[in-house]
Structure 1
Amino acid sequence: MSTITDSAPTPSRSATAVILAAGRGTRMRSERPKVMHPLAGQPMLRYLLENAQQVFDRIVIVIGPGMDDVAAIAAPHAVVVQSDRLGTAHAALQAQAQFGTGDVAVLYGDNPLITAETMRELLACRRQPGVGLALLAMRPADPGRYGRVVTQGENVQRIVEWADATPQERRIDLCNAGVLCADAGDFRRWLNAVSNDNAQGEYYLGDVVTQAVSEGACVRAVVAAEDELRGINSRAELAVAEACVQTRLRHAAMDRGVTLIAPETVFLCADTDLAPDVVVHPHVVFGPGVKVERDVEIQSFSHLAQCIVRMGAQIGPYARLRPGSDVGARAHVGNFVELKATTLGEGAKANHLTYLGNARVGARTNIGAGTITCNYDGVFKHVTVIGEGCFIGSDTILVAPVTLGTGAMTAAGSVITGDVADNAMAFGRARQENRDGYAEEFRNRLKDAKERG
């Protein structure tokens, strides 16, 4: 086995990655292609593509019929279709016209967590003098049904699939990750020589190792971490991979200067952008498309998606920022406050029990508890504009479209249906009337009615 830490691919020799992504995800019990299942908010295939792009000159993705969504994720890379699913070696053969003349590595879309560093190690191992074929292997805590790597000294002799392995071979702890790398010409020849004489009647990519050894080629294994090489074939394995991705993302955030008070309770997306000196309290969830600037504090049980939070703002606890929201510098979004497609100006505050949808709130404006914008009429969304320095009284209902000018105020409990001028105060409620003794009279009437049944 080889462990390469300081070698790099030869610049003058091209390298092609072939990614097998035709799996239907049968064990997922899903109509969605396997590689489209998300990890940290993005399809698992995207992780492999992003890392492969750092290493390989050309990428080819093998998909199944009708997988237009996979082809869209793969763009602008070349895509070929495996019309008949006859095994992994057969899938790789569909891309042979795209191999070129350099080295070719075959990867799997459902092994999405292989790092660029490990891919470079694989290429470097293959390019060592005398090495004809390199593969990735691992020693998982539970070898399970992985194919086993049979070795003699440093050299790999063959790959045996679990279904075809003897009891002695199943006790081998070195497992095949399925990833192979060889010269393009050799790879074509070995792939075309693979047969389907096995328990499943399929053309296994692992049998390329047998072909290489039969020709006297030296085959070496690069051993990498299980967390990188684990396959995803079921919902349970998807959950394990999600945990691995979350651990990576949390550590990366903390390395950038983010404070995660209880990291294991914070869930990030692959594109979550947290600046240094952001503090995240326990049990916060970040959906896709979130950007948080410096010195922001996000308190527990808040949920953010497709929004931006500016420098020094305070979020939560129990806040929800929905798509299109923009929270200004030093603004406050408090407990049980929801924003949707809303801009909250610098220093503005919505601290309690409020819904603001399709709203533009000016700087230093205070939104009282229980305020809501009625932005949807059943067909259209309408905008509420609130100027700078306004004071919106508790339990105000703002029926959009409506505009409140700079410095405007609303009385608590008002329903505002018309525009409010600068520095004006709006009363949108019925005038209070007190009737002396009426409360006692009313209670007595109710008691009499109850007694009469």
Structure 2
Amino acid sequence: MTSPIAAIILAAGKGTRMKSDTHKVLHPIAGRPMLLHLIDSVAALDPARTVVVVGAGREQVEAAVRPLGAETVEQAEQLGTGHAVLQAEAALADFTGDVLILYGDVPLVTAETLRRMLDRLHMPDMPATVVLGFRPADPGAYGRLMVDADGSLRRIVEFKDATPQERAETLCNSGLMAVRSADLFRLLARVTNTNAAGEYYLVDLVQLAAEDGRTSAVVETDAGEVSGVNSRGELAALEAEWQRARRARAMAEGVSLVAPDTVWFAHDTVLGRDVTIEPNVVFGPKVEVGDRVTIHAFSHLQGAKVSTGADIGPYARLRPGTVIGEGARVGNFVETKNAVLEAGAKANHLTYLGDARIGARANIGAGTITCNYNGYLKQRTEIGAGAFIGSNSALVAPVRIGDGAIVAAGTVVTQDVEADALSLTRAPQTAKPGWARKFREVMQARKAAK
């Protein structure tokens, strides 16, 4: 029988090195706050409880996690990681099961890794704690995990306290841990702050369990998965690592990236098969792309759905609420917002389509604008199937263009146009023979007289 799971996520740090008014754990990776990346991984395990330990800037964190069903508890004073976890004791007083201890600024640990930690907790040797370890390229000042020949974790040594022999160990402590609830708070009650920093350290649980004659265990993972964020530079590095992995997955799933390092995905980007993405394309959140779509260079998509066979860009901007139908075309320097282009519709260049529906096979000429905002309210424009909108037209919403209608180039449309009708508001073109020659002569004479 699987034990219930609870997660304690530590997010009380001030994050002063970020130099930001935004709480450290709410800075985004791939368009989503890093704390919410971690909560997503935890949610995949179907936890009974998720408790976030907050401190400075708690209002921001609480507002972010409460809609997701997480509880919060406060660590009023920063007295160490052991003290932080202890703040969740009352919240989990009625909980019996396995507890994962995680860090809000270590956001990319996967549900699979967390599951491996929990599985290890229930192996026949029944370790008191399971610690997540990793082997970085440069172990630096990380704490070292000292493992016996039988694989059991003997103790965790902080770098500053380690001997030269212990510093030679490359297996490092990520800080993430799995412990049974019955053991966790019993051991935490015995943790002291008799150390140079005067803090209560979570790592002391391993030593305390050993004093009781119980072993601890290590599960290893890749260093990138447990990378933490304490500065803008580390945030950028973690973003780059996330993007690298996402690009690799996209290509493995049948997407062609012409210049992979220049394409940036959001956390929830959905891509179909045989999609081609040219250089310097950026995906904001909530984008779905169907099969056999081409997205040309320097396009930006956010909150948009692009259907099978559509062609986007270059230099296109699809804003939230955009739906591009099958085989539709959005060309260079076209911007859409809350607009639907039905199957086969075309807006090839230099156009703004906001709060609009463009019917199937309709053609939108260059320089067309839907005038959707009057300074107070947004209004819709409806363009029928097969309609033709001439270049440099302004469609003043609310307005309807019927199926098959033609709007002549340079027209300002302020009234509905019936199906198959021609609408134009141009003044008649006139010509004055010889006028230009006479104008030049007059102007040249005036200039010469000065």
Q: Fold match, TM over 0.5?
A: yes
Evaluate the alpha carbon distance shift between residue 404 and residue 204 of structure 1 in structure 2; reply closer, same or farther with a 3 A threshold: same
Residue 109 of structure 2: SS of its match in structure 1?
coil
Assess if the C-alpha contact under 8 Å between 1:275 and 1:293 holds in 2. Answer: yes
- Name the counterpart of 1:54: 44
Segment of structure 1 superposing worse, 325-334 or 401-410: 401-410
Evaluate the alpha carbon distance shift between residue 168 and residue 446 of structure 1 in structure 2; reply closer, same or farther with a 3 A threshold: farther
Tell me the alpha carbon deviations over residues 334-358 of structure 1, each in whole angstroms, 9 at most, x when there is no partner.
Answer: 1111111111121110001111111
Residue 187 of structure 1: SS of its match in structure 2?
helix
- Name the counterpart of 2:55: 64
The alpha-carbon deviation at position 188 of structure 1 amounts to 1.0
Quote the RMSD (CA, aligned, Å). 2.1
Evaluate the alpha carbon distance shift between residue 199 and residue 444 of structure 1 in structure 2; reply closer, same or farther with a 3 A threshold: farther
Kindly provide the amino acid, as one letter, of the partner of residue 223 in structure 2: E
- Name the counterpart of 2:73: 80
- Name the counterpart of 2:387: 390
- Name the counterpart of 1:361: 358
Rounded Cα–Cα distance in structure 2 between residues aligned with 1:326 and 1:130: 54
Assess if the C-alpha contact under 8 Å between 1:24 and 1:32 holds in 2. Answer: no
- Correspondences of 1:421-432 after superposition (within 5 Å): 421-432=418-429
> Identity percentage over the alignment?
50
The alpha-carbon deviation at position 446 of structure 1 amounts to 2.9
- Name the counterpart of 2:279: 282
Out of 88, 99, 104, the residue aligned to residue 104 of structure 1 is 99
Rounded Cα–Cα distance in structure 1 between residues aligned with 2:372 and 2:3: 60
Rounded Cα–Cα distance in structure 1 between residues aligned with 2:264 and 2:295: 13
Gap runs ≥5 in structure 1: 1-10
Evaluate the alpha carbon distance shift between residue 130 and residue 322 of structure 1 in structure 2; reply closer, same or farther with a 3 A threshold: closer
Tell me the alpha carbon deviations over residues 201-236 of structure 1, each in whole angstroms, 9 at most, x when there is no partner.
Answer: 322222222322333321222111001111111111
The alpha-carbon deviation at position 325 of structure 1 amounts to 0.9
Segment of structure 1 superposing worse, 235-244 or 318-327: 235-244
Kindly provide the amino acid, as one letter, of the partner of residue 54 in structure 1: A
Kindly provide the amino acid, as one letter, of the partner of residue 108 in structure 2: L
Evaluate the alpha carbon distance shift between residue 447 and residue 399 of structure 1 in structure 2; reply closer, same or farther with a 3 A threshold: farther
Residue 346 of structure 1: SS of its match in structure 2?
coil
Residue 216 of structure 2: SS of its match in structure 1?
strand
Evaluate the alpha carbon distance shift between residue 15 and residue 380 of structure 1 in structure 2; reply closer, same or farther with a 3 A threshold: closer
- Name the counterpart of 1:7: none
Segment of structure 1 superposing worse, 260-269 or 85-94: 260-269
Alignment partner of 1:33 is 2:23: yes
Alignment partner of 1:241 is 2:238: yes
Rounded Cα–Cα distance in structure 2 between residues aligned with 1:207 and 1:175: 15
Assess if the C-alpha contact under 8 Å between 1:306 and 1:324 holds in 2. Answer: yes
- Name the counterpart of 1:339: 336
- Correspondences of 1:368-387 after superposition (within 5 Å): 368-387=365-384
Assess if the C-alpha contact under 8 Å between 2:4 and 2:96 holds in 1. Answer: yes
Rounded Cα–Cα distance in structure 2 between residues aligned with 1:317 and 1:410: 26
Out of 84, 89, 102, the residue aligned to residue 82 of structure 2 is 89
Rounded Cα–Cα distance in structure 1 between residues aligned with 2:251 and 2:97: 39
Rounded Cα–Cα distance in structure 1 between residues aligned with 2:101 and 2:437: 85
Tell me the alpha carbon deviations over residues 234-274 of structure 1, each in whole angstroms, 9 at most, x when there is no partner.
Answer: 11111121122223322333343333333322211111111
Kindly provide the amino acid, as one letter, of the partner of residue 360 in structure 1: R
Rounded Cα–Cα distance in structure 1 between residues aligned with 2:438 and 2:190: 99
Alignment partner of 1:141 is 2:134: no
- Name the counterpart of 1:219: 216
Evaluate the alpha carbon distance shift between residue 355 and residue 12 of structure 1 in structure 2; reply closer, same or farther with a 3 A threshold: closer
Gap runs ≥5 in structure 2: none
Rounded Cα–Cα distance in structure 1 between residues aligned with 2:445 and 2:143: 83
- Name the counterpart of 1:43: 33
The alpha-carbon deviation at position 292 of structure 1 amounts to 1.5
TM-score (structure 1 length as normaliser)? 0.91
Kindly provide the amino acid, as one letter, of the partner of residue 110 in structure 2: T
Alignment partner of 1:150 is 2:143: no
Segment of structure 1 superposing worse, 407-416 or 132-141: 407-416
Tell me the alpha carbon deviations over residues 278-316 of structure 1, each in whole angstroms, 9 at most, x when there is no partner.
Answer: 222222111011111222221111110001112221111
Segment of structure 1 superposing worse, 308-317 or 211-220: 211-220
Tell me the alpha carbon deviations over residues 370-414 of structure 1, each in whole angstroms, 9 at most, x when there is no partner.
Answer: 111222222222222211111111111222222211211122222
Evaluate the alpha carbon distance shift between residue 380 and residue 130 of structure 1 in structure 2; reply closer, same or farther with a 3 A threshold: closer
Residue 267 of structure 1: SS of its match in structure 2?
coil
Alignment partner of 1:127 is 2:118: no
- Name the counterpart of 1:23: 13
- Name the counterpart of 2:113: 118
Segment of structure 1 superposing worse, 158-167 or 72-81: 158-167
Assess if the C-alpha contact under 8 Å between 2:13 and 2:56 holds in 1. Answer: no
Evaluate the alpha carbon distance shift between residue 446 and residue 170 of structure 1 in structure 2; reply closer, same or farther with a 3 A threshold: farther
Alignment partner of 1:253 is 2:250: yes
Kindly provide the amino acid, as one letter, of the partner of residue 83 in structure 2: H
Rounded Cα–Cα distance in structure 2 between residues aligned with 1:85 and 1:26: 13
Kindly provide the amino acid, as one letter, of the partner of residue 240 in structure 1: A
Evaluate the alpha carbon distance shift between residue 443 and residue 95 of structure 1 in structure 2; reply closer, same or farther with a 3 A threshold: same
The alpha-carbon deviation at position 178 of structure 1 amounts to 0.2
